[in-house]
Chain A
Amino acid sequence: MPVTDVSHDLAARTLTIVADFAAPPKRIWEVYADPRQLERVWGPPTYPATFVDHDLAPGGRTNYYMTSPEGERYYGYWEVVSVDEPFGFTFDDGFALDEQFTKNTDLPVSSNVVTFVEHDGGTRATYVGTYASAEALQAVLDMGIVEGSSAAINQIDELVAG
């Protein structure tokens, strides 16, 4: 299992995940820099992601949607704040209203810090996500993360069984 450590900070509404990958940082960076690879990992299997625009550069924007099993589309975007190729980047992840990717200002934005460090011939990746408020966290969960996560959990189970 690649995930080595998880910590929740209830007071700061922060989730930190540490994972080890069996490939150098450059390879992990490419997963995020290439929209075709990114869409294979971003959405849960039952909510596949399609990245329409993807610019992993400071000030760059990414527009994507996830498609539900019923064919419904959920639009989202990233605003890339900073990059340190191939060692990581920071971005704000928000929801969009429609296929023009107009920001949905009623829904929360999370700020995310992603770092890739060389470790034992592979990469140690650290993901820190911060939500502005409990309301924000709850709204994100209400958006359907529950369905998404149960799919993800099942997938992990399959992986372990396999």
Chain B
Amino acid sequence: MDGEDAADAWFHALSDRTRRDILRRVLAGEHSVSALAASYDMSFAAVQKHVAVLERAGLLTKRRQGREALASGDVAAVRSVGAMLTELESLWRGRISRIDELIAEPDPRAEPAPPPHIPKD
């Protein structure tokens, strides 16, 4: 998967509340898929499908132990998703700090004529 495909898969996987809940549980520690299924009012197969979506998105990894499938969350992948929004956050933080500097200056209305309108070209 390239970057954009990975991002789409992450956000698609996280757009469902059951999957977000599963992810929270498996980030806290390894859970068997059958133990996860017992937590939800839906069929085992339905929970398995949600786990598979998270696994395909790379947010969760599975390993087999005997007859059980054990799932755990991938912290690094979850951090990458957060990092995308963090980039946007820093853009807005920059704007806000510049507003702060601007309003600390003397009132622009007290100054002489404002600069002329910048022409299109």
A residues neighboring B (CB under 8 Å) = 1-3, 6, 8, 10-11, 13, 15, 17, 19, 21-23, 27-28, 31, 34, 36-37, 40-42, 44, 50-52, 99, 125, 127, 129, 133-135, 137-138, 140-141, 145-146, 148-153, 155-156, 159
Q: How many contacting A-B pairs (Cβ < 8 A)?
A: 130
Known: A145-B88, A152-B90. 5 other contacts (CB 8 A): A2-B99, A22-B103, A22-B104, A140-B88, A155-B97
Please judge, given known A-B contacts A6-B89, A15-B85, A44-B91, whether A137 and B7 are in contact too, CB under 8 Å: yes
User: Which chain B residues lie closer than 8 Å to A37 at the CB level?
Assistant: 102, 108
Q: How far is the CA of A146 from the CA of B86 in the complex (A)?
A: 10
B residues neighboring A (CB under 8 Å) = 3-4, 7-8, 10-12, 14-15, 17, 20, 81-82, 84-104, 108, 114-115, 118, 120-121
Instruction: Report yes or no: A44 in contact with B92, Cβ–Cβ below 8 A.
Output: no
Task: Select one of A31, A129, A149 contacting B90, CB under 8 A.
Answer: A149
Please judge, given known A-B contacts A11-B20, A27-B103, whether A41 and B95 are in contact too, CB under 8 Å: yes
Interface of B is mostly: helix
Instruction: Report yes or no: A134 in contact with B7, Cβ–Cβ below 8 A.
Output: yes
Instruction: Report yes or no: B97 in contact with A159, Cβ–Cβ below 8 A.
Output: yes
User: Which chain A residues lie closer than 8 Å to B84 at the CB level?
Assistant: 137-138, 141
Instruction: Report yes or no: B94 in contact with A21, Cβ–Cβ below 8 A.
Output: no
Q: Could you tell me the distance in whole angstroms from the C-beta of A72 to the nearest C-beta in chain B?
A: 16
